[in-house]
Amino acid sequence: MTVLAGSAAVIGVGASSFARRPDMSVLEPAGAALSAALADAGLEAGQIDGLIVHVGSPRGADYDTIAQTFGLSPRFCSQTWAHGRFAATVLIQAAMAIACGMATRVACLMAMKNSDLGRIGEANNPFFFEQFRENGGPHAEDGSIGMASPVAGAAMAFQLYCQRYGLDRELLAAIPLTLRRHAMLAEDAVMRAPMTPEDYRMARTVIAPLRLFDCSIVGDGAVCVILGGKAEATGKNPVWLTGMQGVRAGRETFIFGPVGLGMQQQSDRRLSLGEARGQQVYGMAGIMPETVDAVGIYDSFSPLPVYAFEDFGFCGAGEALHWIQDGRIGLGGDCPLNTSGGQLSHAQMNGWGQIRELVLQLRGEAGPRQVAGARHGLWIGCGGDAIAFERS
């Protein structure tokens, strides 16, 4: 369909530990993830000719610092806005750089340290002034009226969603409870203590209707994914990027809600099932929701996968809170979600943890979490972005 489909593959993936270490340099996890990804790909640092950095200073390190510090000499560099929503954007840009001949092996690196900062929304956090951004914060914040923290926009969208469809908010428990069970099978997960329905229900409210376990804790750590073109993807188990679509924006979008929910200035017109199943990523990859063996979804807040399942046609608008019940999104279910625990329980790595997990699943390297015979993986971000992955 396009020059991009199937033109680049993940040829190496690596991660640091995700322990919260306020005294460390963010360059430590960055270096650990980079060296692990290079070793996984069987490459030397000098063979990396493209570098795309997600997050950057002050929570992370910028592309020039990364290249200088680790002895890389890329001829194509880029870096995104320091928000979580750009994992797919980084990978798509890397694939475009490869398809267009700008680079042959692109290291995509997300590194950050949050444990030495106040929570987002508080004064001791570099994002504090975003809630005073002209025309509103990036997640609907408005500090002048007391609407601080990204939690608020996520809470308001979920309240609106439950109100609109007459749904019981307690159905949402399936997301955090399932992801905690997945994290218990991942040795490097940050949150591995068992969570009961009672634990979820009784946890303190942050901004009603969202509670403590509906919100991820922004983490410390790094993930590196190396993409290569056809000539480079000769090693073990390349995982191809077969379909892609970028982050969406505009008056019909809200970062923590589905299209047409009625947040901010959105209309009330949700995507039809046909529109949702016609998303670009599916056509480019030649797949449908039912083809997908393992799904990774941006889950900084537990309602986000609910909306993604609807906007990407796994079920109809207003149906996902029921659709996710009864084990469907667990290991062994029809649609295993965030099989290492996602941002809610594995580690809040801006989605890169789920992308790494999809690569491991498609290579058959997910250990006790392995989905038998996994061939197709789908990443869905909170900005309407998506990437279809497929093993050879």
Partner 1 sequence: MSEAVDPPINALNAPFWEGAKTGRLVLPHCVTTGRAFWPPAPISPYTTGAVTWREVAPEGWLRACVTYERVFQASFRPLVPYYIGLVEVQAGPRLQAHLAGGAMPPAIGQAVRIAFRSLIEGAHPVPVILPAAN
Interface pattern 155-194 for partner 1 (x via CB under 8 A): xxx-xx--x-------------------------------
Burial annotation 134-162 (CB, 10 A radius, 16+ → b, else e): eeebbbbbbbeeebbbbbbbbbbbbbbbb
User: Which part of the chain contacts partner 1 (CB under 8 A), choosing from 87-95, 98-106, 116-124, 166-174?
Assistant: 116-124
In the block, tokens 């999104």 appear at 329
The distance of closest approach from Cβ of residue 134 to partner 1 in the complex, given in angstroms and rounded to an integer, is 5
Q: Provide CB contacts within 8 A for 326, sequence distance 6+.
A: none
Query: Of 23, 44, 101, 251, which one interacts with partner 1 (CB under 8 A)?
Result: 251
For position 231 contacting partner 1 by CB under 8 A, the verdict is no
Q: Provide CB contacts within 8 A for 187, sequence distance 6+.
A: none
Closer CB to partner 1, residue 44 or residue 124? Answer: 124
- Calculate the alpha carbon distances from 55 to 52, 114, 201, 329 in Å: 10, 12, 33, 29
Q: Which of 264, 360, 334 is nearest to 40 (CA)?
A: 360
For position 339 contacting partner 1 by CB under 8 A, the verdict is no
The distance of closest approach from Cβ of residue 173 to partner 1 in the complex, given in angstroms and rounded to an integer, is 19
The distance of closest approach from Cβ of residue 79 to partner 1 in the complex, given in angstroms and rounded to an integer, is 26
Interface pattern 118-157 for partner 1 (x via CB under 8 A): -x-xxx----xx--xxxxx---x-xxxxxxxx--x--xxx
Query: For residue 239, what are the β-bridge partners?
Result: 10, 391
Closer CB to partner 1, residue 116 or residue 142? Answer: 142
Q: Which one-letter amino acid corresponds to residue 386?
A: A
For position 46 contacting partner 1 by CB under 8 A, the verdict is no
Query: Of 263, 304, 329, 360, which one interacts with partner 1 (CB under 8 A)?
Result: 263
SS3 (DSSP) at 210: strand
Taking the CB of residue 192, how many other CB atoms lie within 10 A of it? 16
* Count of residues that bind partner 1 according to CB under 8 A: 38
Task: List contacts with partner 1 (CB under 8 A).
Answer: 119, 121-123, 128-129, 132-136, 140, 142-149, 152, 155-157, 159-160, 163, 204-209, 251, 262-265
